[in-house]
Structures are given as C-alpha cells and as structure tokens.
C-alpha cells in the first residue's frame, strides 16, 4: 500500500492530567503514516484521490487545540478517528503523538503513544420480530453509519421462521457487509450499544427481539474469548444466514471451515 508520511508536526495545546498542563500548555509533536492507493492521483492528477497534507496538518492543529483532554492516548485516538472520517480513501493510519515536555522529573527526551488502525471488512447479521421490523433494520443500519461504520453492501430482507425453539413471530433478517477501522471487540461493543439505544431488552434466550445485531465475520479473523467468538459459531447452521451471505459475498471463504459461502449454502440446502 502506498504511504504518505508526515513527520514532527508541532502543536501547542493544553492536554494533561495536571492543572499546570491545562493552564500553561505545552508542545506536542505528531508523526503519522497514512496508507492509501495513490495510483489515480499519480496518473490522472486527480486531487480528490489524494490527501492534501497541508490541509490535513491544519485540521490536526484545529482538532488538537479545540478540546482539553487528560490523556494523550485520548487525543491520539480522536485524531485517528477524525482523520478516517474526513478522508475515506485512507485505509490505514499509524500515528505517534509525542509529549517532549512531559512533567517527569528525570532525564527524559520524550514520552509518546502510537495508535495504529486499519480498515477491515466485516459482516453483520440484523434481525427483528417486534414492531415495524423493516423499519427497525433500517434504523440499525443508519445508527451504524452514524457511528462511522461504512455500509458496503446490503442483502435483501428475508422473512424467516424463529430459530431456537421459542414460540414467537417471524423475523425480518438481513446481512450487511461493512467497512470499519474499529477492532473486532470494539465493533461488537458498538453493535451492542446500538441494540441498547434502540430499546432491546435481553429477557429470553433466542426470544423475541426488537433488534438483533450479530457479528459474523471480521475478514479472516479467528477469535475465541468470553465476549466474542469469530467466526460466529452458527453461521454454517443457519440457512437464512447463508442465503443472505451468498447473495452479497458468495466467494467469501469461511476462515475455519475453509469453504466459500456458496458451497456452505449449497451443502446445507440439500
């Protein structure tokens, strides 16, 4: 991937835990590597396919100075977040924030933090069987977009029978392919937050749901923790999930089963 490097941009601002840091201010230094495809900018002189580094440096300065934070980790994270939002063509950012005047009363050159994030593709399953089901799906998608999750593809909406043995109304189900720079655990947390914002209450396992957002895949990641399992353990057992997946991503290969979605769908459909 092509890279734009910005090194040692100095900004005077008022971040820090100590009152004196917020009152007197101090110098901070930003260095960053931004990865994106420069082909179109280089060959067609298309400025819209490039990052204007002068404007970006001015934006960083403005963003950096408009708030006061206790931790430089917070400042660096917000810079990465806002840079991704402002420049959709950027695929990866590695940003170092140095604090050369850190209040450490020992021989010290500088303290710094580095935030490194890259965009990833993921698949999210949506389901609803309460209220206006299709409106619920649409609202969930809008909330994902509002939280910086870019929607790449949407499957058709399917009407499906309840899964799990609990008697209840039919579901409206859909799958979206998304692009996000959020790590998988944070993406899951964001989806759960959306569920909560929309009023979902977890009372009965596999019971009626105003909205259900399941993280199915994050690229080829395999994760097994108390809070997150990737790939989602029931993908290959649910025909309606595979049907929607094969509609928008038939050649995506299941990371552990090593089979494309279209094959898994055909096998379960038999």
Residue 124: closest CA among 44, 64, 182: 182
Catalytic residue, chosen from 98, 99, 133, 143, is: 99
End-to-end CA distance of the chain: 42
* 227 torsion bin: left (phi>0), alpha (psi -120 to 50), beta (else): alpha
Residue 112: closest CA among 37, 172, 31, 231: 31
99 included as an active-site residue: yes
Separation of alpha carbons 168 and 150, rounded Å = 32
* 258 torsion bin: left (phi>0), alpha (psi -120 to 50), beta (else): left
4: three-class secondary structure by DSSP:
strand
Location of structure tokens 């020992």: 106
Active site residues: 99
């Amino acid at each position: 991937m092509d890279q734009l490097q910005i090194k040692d941009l100095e900004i005077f601002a008022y971040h820090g835990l100590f009152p004196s840091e917020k009152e007197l201010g101090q110098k901070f230094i930003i260095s960053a590597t931004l990865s994106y495809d420069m082909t179109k900018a280089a060959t067609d002189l298309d400025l819209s396919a490039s990052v204007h580094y002068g404007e970006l440096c001015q934006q960083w300065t403005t963003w950096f100075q408009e708030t006061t934070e206790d931790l430089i980790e917070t400042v660096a994270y917000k810079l990465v977040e806002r840079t991704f939002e402002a420049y959709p063509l950027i695929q990866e950012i590695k940003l170092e924030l140095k604090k050369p005047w850190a209040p450490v009363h020992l021989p010290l050159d500088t303290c710094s933090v580095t935030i490194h994030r890259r965009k990833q593709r993921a698949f999210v399953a949506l389901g609803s069987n309460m209220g206006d089901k299709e409106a619920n799906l649409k609202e969930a998608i809008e909330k994902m977009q509002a939280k910086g999750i870019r929607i790449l593809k949407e499957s058709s909406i399917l009407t499906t029978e309840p899964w799990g043995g609990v008697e209840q109304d039919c579901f409206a189900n859909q799958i979206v392919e998304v692009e996000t720079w959020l790590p998988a655990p944070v993406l899951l947390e964001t989806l759960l937050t959306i569920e909560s914002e929309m009023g979902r209450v977890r009372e009965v396992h596999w019971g009626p749901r105003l909205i259900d957002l399941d993280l199915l895949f994050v690229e080829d990641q395999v994760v097994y923790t108390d809070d997150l399992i990737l790939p989602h353990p029931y993908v290959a057992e649910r025909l309606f999930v595979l049907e929607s997946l094969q509609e928008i991503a038939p050649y995506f290969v299941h990371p552990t089963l090593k089979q494309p979605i279209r094959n898994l769908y055909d096998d379960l459909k038999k």
